Amino acid sequence: MTTEFKAWPKIPRGSNENICISEKMDGTNACIVIEDNKIVAVQSRKRFIKVGDDNFGFASWVESNTAELLKLGEGYHYGEWAGAGIQKNPHNIVGKKFFLFNTSRWSNPSRPDCCDVVPVLYAGKYSIDAITDTMIKLKDQANEDGYTPEGMVVWYCKTRRFEKYTFKFSKGKWSEE
């Protein structure tokens, strides 16, 4: 038997970590899968969906917007399907909208016109104060704009991971607070 040496990977330092904080839209998770310039699947968080069994009309919307959505290109395109009739529509969205999660990729004008991007609330160096201050600003701005925010998602650029912070159920939906 030949044993291959496998070194432990380098661990990046927590300091100098850049983060991107986006608003956590309150809707339903959705994804469009594109291969060979075709939409080959549409999915919710837990399963593939289709027109007629389609996660609050998402599959039907994808079918109606196929030509525009193909501009997303190859891959899995995750986002939040939000608006009227979904999760009590706390953002007071007229109709329904698809908000892409990948803020760095889709913040430019090349994204399809039928898609939005989750709002970026902060981008810069990590600090607990940046997270806390952004959460406070989100709550204040939402109150001013007349909607109820769910919370925010923090993307750690170097370590490529997410964390969520919510106003309700900060320890999870099933915890007692």
The predicted pLDDT at position 172 comes to: 58
Give residue-wise pLDDT tens across range 41-98.
999 989 999 998 888 999 999 999 999 999 999 999 999 999 999 988 899 999 999 9
Give residue-wise pLDDT tens across range 110-159.
789 999 999 999 999 999 999 999 999 999 999 999 999 999 999 999 88
Binned at pLDDT 50, 70 and 90, residue 105 comes out as confident
Residue 175 CB burial class (10 angstroms; 0-12, 13-18, ≥19) = exposed
- Helix (H) or strand (E) holding 120, with range, is strand 120-125
Domains within the chain, CATH numbers bracketed: 18-166 (3.30.470.30)
- Helix (H) or strand (E) holding 96, with range, is strand 96-100
Tokens of 109: 């004008």
Q: Read off the pTM.
A: 0.85
Alpha helices in 5-149 (DSSP H): 58-64, 66-69, 103-106, 128-145
DSSP 147-170: ----EEEEEETTTTEEEEEESS-T
Total Cβ atoms within 10 A of residue 59: 24
